[in-house]
Structure 1
């Protein structure tokens, strides 16, 4: 593992990574810890700020140039910005079910899902984590994707009721 590819990357990518890495760690912590506490509310605000910085910084990253410097990943950034706003609005309205759904979507779609693609061959994070190897990241991404799909399947299937 080497951070040299990040140090050589454009400033927008450095900002993006500097925001998304703590957002990934903090988001996992928030999802696992008790909700509604003063700590949860404070760390949640910090997490949302990190997510907004992550989304905004992505608009200055044009590595995949499909349409005037933009790519489908930039649509995700728009969804993240709207999702952050929705998370705030629903938390303030005490619509906890909607808040929870939005935040989980932001985390698993915006961080985990999009993050998996950054480890594909030819991407900067592939060079950081795997030294540019082409096979190892595909195996890691496939295993994580299967684990996520299994988790989604387990959440979506109907539960048996004990009488």
Structure 2
């Protein structure tokens, strides 16, 4: 698959996560709406994280001539989503909450901010 196709899939899955994640942080926890939106959020986050693993890093140091520091957020997501889900199912809401906040701010806010730095795809689209 071409990089541009992977980027499109990534954007189609991650942009809704920004909005859904924000809503989830603001609404009452434990409701049916929270659970349903949370499941959608988790599925989209897993898809976007997996897709990004196939996208080679274009900036900075690369490991195996492919992975860059930005990929650490993909691995964070692939670890955090299932462990947060399991925590919620076990009733460990404190752990679930901590993991989901980490996921939102790490993989959405911080990683998202990096995508707007010079030389990155979204920087080129929005600022060129």
Return the TM-score normalized by structure 2: 0.91
Deviation for aligned residue 1:25: 0.7
61-70 or 38-47, larger mean C-alpha shift: 61-70
Native 8 Å contact 2:13 2:45 kept in 1: yes
Native 8 Å contact 2:10 2:48 kept in 1: yes
Distance 1:79 1:121 in 2: 24
Distance 2:22 2:41 in 1: 10
Deviation for aligned residue 1:63: 3.4
State whether structure 2 residue 70 is matched by structure 1 residue 73: yes
| 1:105-120 superposed matches below 5 A | 105-120=102-117
Segments ≥4 residues shifted beyond 6 Å? none
Rg bigger for which structure?
Answer: 1
Deviation for aligned residue 1:72: 1.9
- Alignment RMSD (CA, Å): 1.5
Give the aligned partner of residue 129 of structure 1: 126
Distance 1:10 1:93 in 2: 40
Gaps of 5+ in 1: 1-7, 133-163
Give the aligned partner of residue 160 of structure 1: none
Q: What is the CA deviation profile of residues 44-63 of structure 1, one whole-angstrom value per residue up to 9, with x for unaligned ones?
A: 00000010011001111113
Residues 58, 9 of structure 1: alpha-carbon distance in 2 compared, 3 angstrom cutoff: closer
Give the aligned partner of residue 29 of structure 1: 23
Distance 1:76 1:112 in 2: 11
Distance 2:72 2:111 in 1: 11
State whether structure 2 residue 99 is matched by structure 1 residue 102: yes
Deviation for aligned residue 1:87: 0.9
